[in-house]
Amino acid sequence: MNDAITPQTTAAVDAAIRSRRSLRAFLPTPVPRKVIEEILEVAARAPSGTNTQPWKVHVLTGAAKQALSSAVRAAYDDPAERARHSEEYAYYPTEWRSPYIDRRRKVGWDLYSLLGIGKADKARMHEQHGRNYAFFDAPVGLIFTIDRVMQQGSWLDYGMFLQNVMVAARARGLDTCPQAAFTQYHRIIERQLGLAADEIVVCGMSLGHADPAAVENSLVTEREPVSGFARFHE
């Protein structure tokens, strides 16, 4: 079935995908609840093995977002307290190898150099990383969870859902930043949001109108060309 896909549809979908970037400074302009619901409704068209739909989303705005941000930030700013928090699942490898470590370093330094943060400037690095916990001032903070009975396959499904959220946001002129930074503080999130014991925090996400004047939002990350990651067996 070809549900009336025209060249305009192709261009619009590609534009939404290509224009998605992780943005790290937002305007206070609110996002109507109806728009958030619409984004989540369309994102939930993501496929999932046997239609299990493993995603759960906590939508934070106003005082609820502020309360979570403050609680996490307090822990982040206190070295002894920060050391008491760790991720519930491993997002990154424990052993870093090339080319992954090179790409990771490049995006980090590209961001810091745009912001004029030097390699030894630990205080400003701490401050910049801490902006995660304010959802980069976005008016909407999303916390995504998954039931701990679900297996690796459901995490694949989850990634598709997350990408749909980001692309659907783009299609409405909104921007996002997915955030693993929240996972370290899952115990605080559990307490603040009253999560069920079977919910694992997958990640957070900022959602809103990007600040076009913010220098960090000019960061454009690189990609390998197709020839670098695809091998055609003919």
Ligand X SMILES: Cc1cc2nc3c(=O)[nH]c(=O)nc-3n(C[C@H](O)[C@H](O)[C@H](O)COP(=O)(O)O)c2cc1C
Order of all β-strands in the sheet with 140-147: 56-60, 140-147, 199-208, 175-179
Enter the tokens of residue 33.
Answer: 């609840």
Under a CB-based contact definition with an 8 Å cutoff, are residues 21 and 219 in contact?
Answer: yes
Q: Report the residue from 134, 203, 209, 214 that binds ligand X according to the rule CB under 6 A.
A: 203
Window of 21-29, 55-63, 81-89, 210-218 that interacts with ligand X by CB under 6 A: 21-29
Closer of 139 and 178 to ligand X (Cβ): 178
Closer of 32 and 116 to ligand X (Cβ): 116
Residue 187 lies near ligand X (rule: CB under 6 A): no
Angle of CA points 26, 31, 36, to nearest 5° = 115
Task: Give the span between the Cα atoms of 191 and 193, in whole angstroms.
Answer: 6
List phi, psi (to 5°) of 32.
-60, 145
Window of 6-14, 44-52, 58-66, 177-185 that interacts with ligand X by CB under 6 A: 177-185
Residue 227 burial (C-beta neighbours within 10 Å; 0-12, 13-18, 19+) = exposed
Residue 40 lies near ligand X (rule: CB under 6 A): no
Residue 217 lies near ligand X (rule: CB under 6 A): no
Residue 146 lies near ligand X (rule: CB under 6 A): no
Q: How far is the CB of 7 from ligand X (least distance, A)?
A: 25
% helix / strand / coil in the chain, to the nearest 5?
50, 15, 35
Q: How far is the CB of 132 from ligand X (least distance, A)?
A: 5
Q: Report the residue from 177, 188, 200, 207 that binds ligand X according to the rule CB under 6 A.
A: 177
Q: Report the residue from 164, 179, 192, 217 that binds ligand X according to the rule CB under 6 A.
A: 179
Q: Beta-strand (E) ranges in 40-80?
A: 56-60
Q: Which position has the token pair 């990408």?
A: 163
Residue 21 lies near ligand X (rule: CB under 6 A): yes
Residue 22 lies near ligand X (rule: CB under 6 A): yes
Q: How many residues sit in the footprint of ligand X (CB under 6 A)?
A: 12
Nearest CA to 165 out of 173, 176, 155, 154 is that of 176
Q: How far is the CB of 177 from ligand X (least distance, A)?
A: 6
Kindly identify the residues of this chain, within the stretch 63-122, that bind ligand X according to CB under 6 A.
107
Closer of 33 and 86 to ligand X (Cβ): 86
Residue 206 lies near ligand X (rule: CB under 6 A): no
Query: Under 8 Å CB-to-CB from 28, ≥6 apart: which residues?
Result: 137, 139
Q: Which residues bind ligand X (CB under 6 A)?
A: 21-22, 24, 107, 132, 177-181, 203, 221
